[in-house]
Amino acid sequence: MILTRAQLVKNIILEMIKTNKICGNKLPTEDELAKLLQVSLATLREALLELNKEGIISKRHGLGNFIHKSTLETKMRIDRFSDFVDLLKDGGHSVTSTYSVLRLEKPDAAVAKDLQISIDSKIAVYDRTFYANGRAAIHAQNRISYCYFVRERSEIESQFDLNSFIEEYCQQKLTHGIQEISPMVAGKFEECLFGIMSGSAMISWKETFYTIEDKPICLGTVKFNPDIVKMKMLWK
């Protein structure tokens, strides 16, 4: 991926903070920092805005930009990483993943309701399992309304991230998703996959994805291995 000028500047500032090249918990003034990094104020401010959004700095008008190393030291933040590979890597894990073969099913009543389709409709289903150091850490399942597909099932490969999959096979763009995070109890499937005891407390994540017309097109469910995934979130 090609980084913008502002993203490069953001990464340079991050490295300066991590390696203690900036004394104290306050950045130099914006004029000083722009001169030091040889960039325009506009580019610098774009980089600082991203650091602010991630909670790494806070700007106080008239006082400057303050550094929060505590946020850098907080790993596996779900408000910072939308990709599970990046989330696990941030936790210090070596990450691999596998995909299932795409299959067609009929939805149960709950899935049909979430996707606003009939229980007699078809949904395309595929699974992706993420491994941390060889052990199953996250299991994700996507169920997509088959009425959106513009290509035959035989032509479909499931080894895409969801956005690319929807664009490639449904010619739709996802605009947003609504998440619901709930507690659950591990059953036989989770015991076998994650190597945890049946009855263990777990976190389940359900997300409904929408098109530009605000129609639900995909229902994703995610289960996390409680021995590996310790998700955190920044409040700001």
Domain definitions of the chain by residue range: 5-72, 84-224
At residue 207, what are phi and psi to the nearest 5 degrees? -135, 130
Q: Which two tokens stand for residue 140?
A: 């994700």
Are both 5-72 and 84-224 of the same fold?
A: no
Asked if 52 and 59 count as a contact pair (C-beta separation under 8 A), the reply is yes
Task: Check residue 78 and give its pLDDT.
Answer: 86
Look up the CATH architecture of domain 5-72: Orthogonal Bundle (1.10)
Look up the CATH architecture of domain 84-224: 3-Layer(aba) Sandwich (3.40)
- The pLDDT profile of the chain, 236 residues, written as one tens digit per residue, is 688 999 999 999 999 999 999 888 999 999 999 999 999 999 999 999 999 999 999 999 889 999 999 998 889 988 888 789 999 999 999 999 999 888 999 999 999 999 999 999 999 999 999 999 999 999 999 999 999 998 776 656 666 778 888 998 899 999 999 999 999 999 999 999 999 999 999 999 999 999 999 999 999 999 999 999 988 888 87
HSE-up of 100 (CA within 13 Å, CB side)? Answer: 14
Task: Check residue 224 and give its pLDDT.
Answer: 96
Interatomic CA distance for residues 161 and 203, integer angstroms = 22
3-class state of residue 25 by DSSP: coil
Interatomic CA distance for residues 33 and 40, integer angstroms = 10
- To the nearest 10°, report the CA torsion of 111, 113, 116, 118: 80
Task: Check residue 233 and give its pLDDT.
Answer: 87
